[in-house]
Structure 1
Amino acid sequence: MAFIHTNFFSAVLGFNTDLNVFVPTPNSDEILNHKALGYFHKGSRFQVLYLLHGAYGDYTDWMRLTSIEKYAQNHKLAVIMPSASNSFYQDMCFGSNYLTYLTEELTTFVKATFPVSRKRENTFTAGLSMGGYGALKLALTKPEQYSCSASLSGALDIAALFADDAPAGRERPFLPESLFKHPEQIEGSDADLFALIRKLQSRKEALPRIFQSCGTEDFIYPINQSAKRKLEALGVDLTYEEHRGIHDWDYWDTNIQRVLDWLPLVNDAVNE
């Protein structure tokens, strides 16, 4: 697996931003064990996962705290790990336009720079906690770009999340007033994932397949139960799992493997 750290100027954000990227390449194990090394041929590209961090995190979290490089290598999957600060993956009311950056500028940059597929069927999003919400937000904002989206311990029912006080002993790393012009009106807005789904359904647009997983001892478990009921009521293509676990990297390292097993991966290079 090739690891590339990129720092580039984002015109949307108005500052330099960092990006970690994994691109499948042959490794020594495959050579020593005489495995097929069909990585490179004319026009070859790879399926791609945009993998999002949670609150307090950044573009380094997934590669430092999980074995995502090894898991992606086994599937010949490219992985894009951007930073989005504590933006909740919004075009912030007072702050930067992270949603536009991620769904427009970043995808254009990635497709022009790295050998990743340009097809919707080969492009996926996933994330943890705040990034679990972000993964679905990206996919539902640009459903023509992403075919599958996965949330691990995600803050999916954002209206319910911001309606409640911060969990005991925890302070939020973000203020609703910095994210939304009208934080009291999140429900039904474009920040509300369920409102986005209803809007896409009314337009008869193709929805991404959704994977949702949460630990049963996680403080965010009740919000995931609420989200599950709402997603099921909307009739989306939902795969739901829950396992023993809390809001930590042990859970996310284990269950990102479940996400990769769920994705329609071909474990090989693709053409475009």
Structure 2
Amino acid sequence: MAFLQVNYYSQVLGMDRVMNVILPELSDHNPNWTAADLKDIPVLYLLHGMSGDQAVWSRRTHIERLVRQTPIAVVMPSTDLAWYTNTQYGMNYFDALFDELPQKIGTLFPQISKKRAKNFVAGLSMGGYGAFKMAFSGQQFSYAASLSGALIGDPNFPGRDSWQNNAYWQGIFGELKKFTGSENDIIALAKKQSAIKQPLPKLYAWIGEQDFLFDNNQQTIPQIESLGYDVTFETSPGEHDWYYWDQKIERILDWLPINYQPEKRLS
């Protein structure tokens, strides 16, 4: 596997950006791989939470080791603190990540698949929200996963006031009284997508039973499932913490249709 830090320019945001990319390559660690295995490679877009950036998944989990023997690319971008959203202050982070970034990936890494069946997205906390939001916003992703996701369908979502003040949230989402039914309401997005009668993404969600977002997930997931989505929803003892996310990212890799091969060697 190659681990790349990619500095690129975003036309949408009008600024330089950074993403980390794990990219399969021929090496002694994978003697059975051929050049054909590294064409049309599946890709997982892995999204960070509020306190993270493009490096946090590689710093706090074993993601690089976990995919070492599985031919899948992992793209880790950053949305700063913008909630994978076109903000009210004119920074269109959602467009930059949903539309522009896959185009950039296609240009820089032509071996990565553009097929919906091989494009996946996952994230934790704010990134869980972002993953579902992206999956519900078009036909780009066939699988989406949320770990401890802030699955917002209500302006009074858990943790709002403790995370940031009201001015911050209005800068991201606009007037909170208008949030429900908006382009940022994932329940509204799921309803809109399901009504179009196009293929729906398969979904996975995990939430710890001691997580402050537990009730949020318990309320939101059944609403999504009732719309016809194939949802695998799991709970177990756990808090809002990297200790659990490091374990559950392997569960996501095993759930994805990629013939996941866990790392067995220490070398």
Q: TM-score, normalised by structure 2?
A: 0.91
Q: What is the CA–CA distance in structure 1 between the aligned matches of 2:18 and 2:37, rounded to whole Å?
A: 29
Distance 1:117 1:245, change over 3 A: same
Deviation, structure 1 residue 233:
2.2
Deviation, structure 1 residue 231:
1.6
Q: What is the CA–CA distance in structure 2 between the aligned matches of 1:229 and 1:208, rounded to whole Å?
A: 16
Q: Which residue of 1 aligns with 2:108?
A: 113
Q: Of residues 121, 129, 136 in structure 1, which corresponds to 2:132?
A: 136
Q: Of residues 59, 66, 70 in structure 2, which corresponds to 1:71?
A: 66
Question: Structure 1, unaligned stretches of length 5 or more?
Answer: none
Deviation, structure 1 residue 28:
4.0
Structure 1 moving runs of 4+ over 3 Å: 26-30, 164-168
Q: Which residue of 2 aligns with 1:263?
A: 256
Q: Quick one: which amino acid aligns to residue 145 of structure 1?
A: Q
CA deviations on 1:99-151 (whole Å, 9 max, x unpaired) are 10011110000011112111000000000000000011111112x21100000
Q: Of residues 193, 202, 207 in structure 1, which corresponds to 2:195?
A: 202
Is 1:240 matched up with 2:236?
A: no
Is 1:50 matched up with 2:42?
A: no
Distance 1:165 1:207, change over 3 A: closer
Matches within 5 A, 1:75-224: 75-114=70-109, 115-142=111-138, 144-156=139-151, 158-160=152-154, 162-164=155-157, 166=159, 170-172=162-164, 175-224=168-217
- Give the SS at the match of 2:226: helix
Q: Quick one: which amino acid aligns to residue 24 of structure 1?
A: P
Distance 1:43 1:61, change over 3 A: closer
Answer 1 or 2: higher relative contact order, Cα 8 Å, separation at least 6: 1
Question: Structure 2, unaligned stretches of length 5 or more?
Answer: 262-267
- Give the SS at the match of 2:153: helix
CA deviations on 1:179-219 (whole Å, 9 max, x unpaired) are 12332121111211111111122221221111010111111
Q: What is the CA–CA distance in structure 2 between the aligned matches of 1:165 and 1:82, rounded to whole Å?
A: 25
Q: Which residue of 1 aligns with 2:264?
A: none
Q: What is the CA–CA distance in structure 2 between the aligned matches of 1:117 and 1:110, rounded to whole Å?
A: 10
Q: Quick one: which amino acid aligns to residue 136 of structure 1?
A: F
Q: What is the CA–CA distance in structure 1 between the aligned matches of 2:157 and 2:235, rounded to whole Å?
A: 23
- Give the SS at the match of 1:139: helix
Q: Percent of aligned positions with the same letter in both sequences?
A: 38
